[in-house]
Structure 1
Amino acid sequence: MSASVSGMDRWPVPLRLDGDRWATRRMEKRVLAVVHTVAAGQRVVDAVRLLDADPRVQVMFTAAPDVFSHGVAGFLEGLRGLVVPWSQAVNVRFDLALAASHGSLYELHAPVIVLPHGVGHNKFVSVPTNRRGPGVTAGEREVYGLSRQRLVRDGVVVPKVIVLSHEEELTRLGRACPEALPFAEVIGDPCFDRMTASLPSRARYREALRIGANQALVLACSTWGPDALLGQQWDLLDRLVTELPRDQFRIAVLLHPNVWSAHGDWQVQSWFAGLRRAGVLLVSQYADWCGPLVAADFIVGDHGSVSLYGTMTGAPVLMAGSPTVELAPGSPMVELRSIAPRIHADRPLRGQLRQAAAAPRAEHHARVAARITSEPGHFARRMRALIYRELRLPAPAAQLPVEPAPLPVTVTGEAADGVTS
């Protein structure tokens, strides 16, 4: 790396050639947290926090290029970390990089650990024209997160470690990209562990959302894209408001951060203005979604990951969105869609909710939830051991407890405890 004196002034202190002159502590290791999207950033932070209380390590953040990068700047500002522009990040060596998406990682000069930012590797995505390798034809698709087209560049596996949540994903990865299999490790799922820790706090989350003692919370969850609940069934949100008595039901909506990224905060809030006036809660894209999920009495979801985590709560999970969206065969979402009742447009919603609540589901939901991770409760321990192994540092002896999710935050108004509604 070379730079003029004036150009060097624009580099963060830990990356400057004369950084030791300005830094209060000399760091032993530099870790780069790579944030492609808000959703990916939330998962990266789950890993970065495992470095808390270690004065040997300097963590820096960077926003990697991505089609859903809008919103990342606000996310990073909220973290108040040291942000390195991508143009600088790709010209400096780091001891380790952490990411939860795959784009442009080959540009980095660091061993990279890649985490999943969802659960189950359920979705197909089209292979971009500029990444079609030998034997890959036009129109061919891949399972996101497991495919050769995203894991391999110029014949080399890009990540140093590919983090998986469940043992069964090893088999699926071996079929999709056998050369990546030696780089995969089953570590666990931080959201599963946080959900488990949050379940006993259900009453606190309901109080924060101002759910009355005699009210049932219906949480509508939409992933992104035209096949999602929001893309297919906006009228379902209107029906939830008009058909469910407000004194008995409260409606909340949880949107994938990519929805906010694609359309912008102003536009999303504008679309929901009428629903918010009718009492609908809109969960912030920056909020931890575990709290609202734990608080829900009914979960109306689609093929997004939140629906799968909903099977941990005991609440009925009903399916919306496109019924024809194609998912990876054998994935957890395929199993959930085979057992969860589907919302019907020609039937009263209250009756459908009542029927879903009365139907046996505990055994079916437990089977799906067990497919989220084969290392329940162990993500923090295993992930921290992996990070320190790659940093070639002894890990701190103190164990990190799994904390419950913070109180939920919505996007409008003011409420007690800093929660808006």
Structure 2
Amino acid sequence: MEAEMNWFTTPLGAGGAHRVTIPGCRKVLVIVPSVVAGTRLLDLLPLLDADFRLQVYFTLPEPCGATAAFVTAAGGLVIPWELALQHEFDLVLAASYRFVDRAPGPVLVLPHGASAMKSRRTVRHTAEPVHGLDRQLLMRDGKVHAAAIVLSHDRELDVLAESCPEAVDRAVVAGDLCLDRMRASLPFREHYRRALGVEPDEMLVTISSTWTPESTFARRPELYRELPRQARVAAVLHPNIAAAHGTRQVHAWLAGCDVIVIPPEEGWRATIIASDVVIGDHGSTTQYAAAIGRRVLLATCPEVREGSLADVLRDRVPRYDDDLGQAVRVPGFAELVSSRLDRAKEILRAKMYELIGVGEPAHAAPVAPVPVSRVR
């Protein structure tokens, strides 16, 4: 209903020019196919704040209640995908290659996890491993459609040059804005712990799970019941779990477990910072925990791509076997995630304004600490 109303009430709708307060704005479109992509893109938008020359629109290419609620909660001005396709935008932001070939403007594609390359090994009919910089992913109809392909690390540029040389001139090695925000938030660890209700002398253990049948949530469900006997426990679950099964079902599965369930939209980063130990799987959350110096253990880890971040953790981190004392830190892991530590905001901001075609504002764009967890 809201999207239908916005068809008529936005500056792009019929007669929209008569409703505009600030005319002549450059148009930025944020494509949100999922909550996961949306959370990554919300990190980008503050880099465009305080600029009266810009108007930001959001669009959902596929109907999804969880994604619509996420964008609405963020206060985004939502327009229907069909309406977006009727207009040309000065910049399109995406965190997935889905729909990029149809995007109505120059697209900057951001990774939606740690690294632009997938850790999980997937195999297509060719029996060849597929990573996040696969040629078939980047090209449609013989053309690279993204105007800017954001990479986290220099080594990804080498992979891109081998897998899809046509895309190399679109690559931007920018580091990892999510990691930079977490690093900037480390001084506020006690604040995050208080927001979770964790006492100074309590140990906080976070159980991290990606989705799929090979995740912690699927393979080690007993942890959610057993670990609270040893420590305070928080559960960080991939947003796709709630999107696929429903928030109520997730809470039903965890009924009787004395755990702090972190909302899928935001709060996982603050929780990881607040944690003493993180027990996870091959998902990005475990990798970010290691990158900010948290002690980590693996609950499970499937076959992953050789040389991936998950592969490094599988080699260096013990499996959890009822002993939290075995948790380890992984020195130097942040440098494996990003080769532009604490520089992503400058690089990404410059590239976005280059694509928009206007100069950057004179004011700085600081890296904001991550918000506190609002537990349910």
TM-score range, shorter chain: over 0.9
| Structure 1 segment 342-353 matched on structure 2, within 5 A | 342-344=319-321, 349=322, 352-353=323-324
Cα deviation, residue 207, structure 1: 0.9
Measured against aligned partners, the alpha-carbon deviations of 1:380-401 in whole angstroms (never above 9, x if no partner) come to 1111111100011011011111
Q: 2:261 aligns with which of 279, 282, 296?
A: 282
Q: 1:92 aligns with which of 71, 84, 87?
A: 87
Q: Is the 8 A contact 2:6 2:79 kept in 1?
A: no
Cα deviation, residue 269, structure 1: 1.4
Is residue 114 from structure 1 mapped to residue 109 from structure 2 by the alignment? yes
Write the distance in 2 (CA, Å) between the matches of 1:29 and 1:123.
38
Residue type of the alignment partner of 1:341? P
Write the distance in 2 (CA, Å) between the matches of 1:109 and 1:241.
49
Q: 1:268 aligns with which of 246, 250, 269?
A: 250
Q: 1:37 aligns with which of 34, 38, 46?
A: 34
Is residue 219 from structure 1 mapped to residue 206 from structure 2 by the alignment? yes
Write the distance in 2 (CA, Å) between the matches of 1:13 and 1:369.
42
Aligned equivalent of 1:410: 375
Aligned equivalent of 1:188: 175
Aligned equivalent of 1:166: 153
TM-score (norm 2): 0.94
Write the distance in 2 (CA, Å) between the matches of 1:125 and 1:29.
40
Aligned equivalent of 2:335: 370
Cα deviation, residue 299, structure 1: 0.5
Cα deviation, residue 317, structure 1: 0.5
Write the distance in 2 (CA, Å) between the matches of 1:185 and 1:410.
36
Write the distance in 2 (CA, Å) between the matches of 1:8 and 1:205.
38
Is residue 59 from structure 1 mapped to residue 33 from structure 2 by the alignment? no
Aligned equivalent of 1:4: none
Q: What is the DSSP-based 3-state SS (H/G/I as helix, E as strand, rest coil) of the residue aligned with 1:300?
A: strand
Q: Is the 8 A contact 1:328 1:334 kept in 2?
A: yes
Is residue 320 from structure 1 mapped to residue 303 from structure 2 by the alignment? no
Q: How many residues are aligned here?
A: 371
Q: Is the 8 A contact 1:216 1:250 kept in 2?
A: yes
Q: Is the 8 A contact 2:97 2:137 kept in 1?
A: yes
Distance 1:390 1:308, change over 3 A: same
Structure 2 residues not aligned, in runs of 5+: none
Measured against aligned partners, the alpha-carbon deviations of 1:344-374 in whole angstroms (never above 9, x if no partner) come to 3xxxx2xx212336xxx4xxx2322211111
Query: Percent identity among equivalent residues?
Result: 38
Write the distance in 1 (CA, Å) between the matches of 2:352 and 2:101.
19
Aligned equivalent of 1:153: 140
Write the distance in 2 (CA, Å) between the matches of 1:199 and 1:34.
30
Distance 1:355 1:288, change over 3 A: closer
Q: 1:306 aligns with which of 268, 285, 301?
A: 285
Residue type of the alignment partner of 1:393? V
Q: 1:74 aligns with which of 48, 69, 78?
A: 69
Distance 1:393 1:287, change over 3 A: same
Cα deviation, residue 175, structure 1: 2.4
Measured against aligned partners, the alpha-carbon deviations of 1:287-326 in whole angstroms (never above 9, x if no partner) come to 23211001101100100011111113433200012x4x22
Measured against aligned partners, the alpha-carbon deviations of 1:245-266 in whole angstroms (never above 9, x if no partner) come to xxxx201100011111111111
Write the distance in 1 (CA, Å) between the matches of 2:61 and 2:248.
23
Cα deviation, residue 152, structure 1: 0.4
Structure 1 residues not aligned, in runs of 5+: 1-6, 128-136, 412-421
Q: Is the 8 A contact 1:102 1:151 kept in 2?
A: yes
Q: What is the DSSP-based 3-state SS (H/G/I as helix, E as strand, rest coil) of the residue aligned with 2:293?
A: coil
Aligned equivalent of 2:99: 104
Q: What is the DSSP-based 3-state SS (H/G/I as helix, E as strand, rest coil) of the residue aligned with 1:113?
A: strand
Residue type of the alignment partner of 1:227? E
Cα deviation, residue 188, structure 1: 1.8
Cα deviation, residue 17, structure 1: 5.3
Measured against aligned partners, the alpha-carbon deviations of 1:185-214 in whole angstroms (never above 9, x if no partner) come to 101211111111111111111111111222
Q: Is the 8 A contact 1:194 1:290 kept in 2?
A: no
Aligned CA-pair RMSD: 1.9
Q: What is the DSSP-based 3-state SS (H/G/I as helix, E as strand, rest coil) of the residue aligned with 2:256?
A: helix
Q: Is the 8 A contact 1:8 1:16 kept in 2?
A: no
Write the distance in 1 (CA, Å) between the matches of 2:41 and 2:296.
28
Cα deviation, residue 406, structure 1: 1.3
Write the distance in 1 (CA, Å) between the matches of 2:128 and 2:146.
23
Write the distance in 1 (CA, Å) between the matches of 2:326 and 2:96.
39
Cα deviation, residue 159, structure 1: 0.6
Write the distance in 2 (CA, Å) between the matches of 1:178 and 1:124.
22
Q: What is the DSSP-based 3-state SS (H/G/I as helix, E as strand, rest coil) of the residue aligned with 2:318?
A: coil
Write the distance in 2 (CA, Å) between the matches of 1:204 and 1:85.
39
Aligned equivalent of 1:354: 325
Q: Is the 8 A contact 2:224 2:254 kept in 1?
A: no
Aligned equivalent of 2:349: 384
